Amino acid sequence: MAKLFIAESSKKSIENLSHFLSTDGHEAYFFDNSKPLIEVLAESKFDLVVVDHSFKEMSSIDIINSFLKNPAHSNTNIIITTSSPNKEDLNKFSSLGINHIFVKPYRYKLLSEKIQYAINPNKGDHGAFEPDILKIFLESTIHVFESIGSISVNAGKPFLKSGNDSLSEISAVIGLSSSQIKGSMSINVTKKILISCLYKMLGPNAKTDDTAIADMCGELCNQIMGRAKQQFLKKKSMTFEITVPSVLTDPFHILDYKSSSPVLVIPFLFEKVAGIFVEFCLEINDSYEPVAPEKLQVVVEEGQLILF
Q: What is the mean pLDDT of each run of 10 residues along the chain (308 residues)?
A: 91 90 91 94 92 91 90 84 74 70 76 75 52 82 88 85 83 85 88 92 91 94 90 78 87 75 85 88 62 34 31
CA distance 222 to 229: 10
* Burial class of residue 24 (count of CB atoms within 10 Å of its CB; 0-12, 13-18, 19+): middle
Q: How far is CA 33 from the centre of its chain?
A: 30
CA distance 248 to 170: 6
Fold of 3-119: Rossmann fold (3.40.50)
3-119 and 131-295: identical CATH topology:
no
To the question of domain 131-295 being in CATH 1.10.1200.10, the answer is: no
E strand or H helix at 19: helix 11-23
Annotated domain spans of the chain: 3-119, 131-295
Three-state SS at 17: helix
pLDDT given for residue 128 in this prediction: 55
Q: What is the pLDDT of residues 11-51, one digit of tens each?
A: 888 998 999 999 889 999 999 999 999 999 999 999 889 99
pLDDT given for residue 125 in this prediction: 42
**Three-class HEC string of 147-190:** HCCCCCCEECCCEEECCCECCCCEEEEEEEECCCEEEEEEEEEC
pLDDT given for residue 56 in this prediction: 92
Q: Around 95, how many Cα atoms within 13 Å sit in the side-chain half-sphere? A: 14
Of 56, 64, 69, the C-alpha closest to 98 is: 64
Dihedral angle of Cα 90, 4, 175, 247, to the nearest 10 degrees? 40
pLDDT given for residue 285 in this prediction: 66
Instruction: With beta carbons less than 8 A apart as the criterion, state whether 259 and 183 touch.
Output: yes
CA distance 103 to 82: 5
